[in-house]
Structure 1
Amino acid sequence: MPNSNPERPLSTDTTEVVPEHPEHSDTPGQEDSNDVAHEGSCHCGKVKWVMRAPRVLQCVQCNCSICKKKSLIHYIVKREKFTLVQGGDKLKTYTFNTGVAQHRFCKKCGVQSFYIPRSNPNSISVMPNCIDSNTVDSIELSDFEGQNWDEAIKLNPPSSN
């Protein structure tokens, strides 16, 4: 069950943070008319998910310490538009600093295909390079000054798609 209380720290129990569903189903009112189903996974395929989003992804490139080392590009999506199809039990979690961000990665191959971001703890940050389906037309990037996180978040308040 997703964490509905942003004051309560997110558990390292993946099933609480991102419930696993055997099949993706659309819920009325949750999709935009421009949304399509994007299927994604880790490298070994043990972790699979589906998200509903437009074909053109408005992504963020952050230069904070972890994003820089991982060369991460983020697409922030509302939790209700993301479904973990399989592999919740195959995920490990890494946290640091405030512990709000829940960096999830596959225990087998080590790939982080999504995580819970500090900037949007009630959303999911998807790594667009982990989208397997041929459903992305283009990726548009904007920069986030993560090295000065507190200042940057004031100038660029969080939003999700």
Structure 2
Amino acid sequence: MLITYTGSCHCGTVKFEADLDLEQSTYRCNCSICRQTRFWPAVAKEGGLRILQGEDQLTRYTFNTHKNEHYFCKHCGVRVFGIGTETPIGKMYGVNIGCLDVLGDKELAALKITYVDGLHDKFAPPEYIDHL
């Protein structure tokens, strides 16, 4: 079920709302940026993410093929969301689960996770996932 969640970066400079279905899978990826930032996104479709405050305080980062965009707060460094343009569902927003306001440990532990081998650009689980 699609629910509108609110969230923010660590320092509260960037605030957003996102339409997410957390009964669907969330994602963990082993690509270099997701691995190093421990990024754990839920998917919002186009139009499903709205920045309420601090859009001008986000830093955009791309690398390698530059097909994905990663947005970080300029102040606290938290990766709030990313934009994927070449995904199985087309353009999507990966919203950082850790930035959502209302999820406690019990709710986080119950989320479904799909593991993706982004290191090798495959939408399949990598050989090892326990560290993700």
Same fold (TM over 0.5): yes
Q: Once the two structures are superposed, what CA deviation does each residue of 1:10-55 show, in whole Å capped at 9, x if it has no partner? A: xxxxxxxxxxxxxxxxxxxxxxxx2221111100111011111234
Q: Name the residue aligned to 2:97.
A: 128
User: Map of 1:78-157 to 2, 5 A cutoff?
Assistant: 78-120=45-87, 122-134=91-103, 137=107, 138-149=110-121, 152-153=122-123
Output the aligned Cα RMSD: 2.2
Secondary structure of the structure 2 residue equivalent to 1:68: helix
Distance across 2 between alignment mates of 1:83 and 1:57:
20
Distance across 2 between alignment mates of 1:97 and 1:118:
14
User: Map of 1:69-80 to 2, 5 A cutoff?
Assistant: 69-80=36-47
Secondary structure of the structure 1 residue equivalent to 2:101: coil
Secondary structure of the structure 1 residue equivalent to 2:47: helix
5+ residue gaps, structure 2, are 126-132
Question: Which of residues 48, 51, 73 is equivalent to 2:15?
Answer: 48
5+ residue gaps, structure 1, are 1-33, 157-161
Q: TM-score, normalised by structure 2?
A: 0.80
Distance across 2 between alignment mates of 1:119 and 1:72:
18
Question: Which of residues 15, 34, 42 is equivalent to 1:67?
Answer: 34
Larger radius of gyration: 1
Secondary structure of the structure 2 residue equivalent to 1:56: coil
Q: TM-score, normalised by structure 1?
A: 0.67
Q: Number of aligned residue pairs: give it.
A: 120
> In terms of mean alpha carbon deviation, does 58-67 or 126-135 score higher?
126-135
Identical aligned residues as a percent: 31
Distance across 2 between alignment mates of 1:103 and 1:126:
10
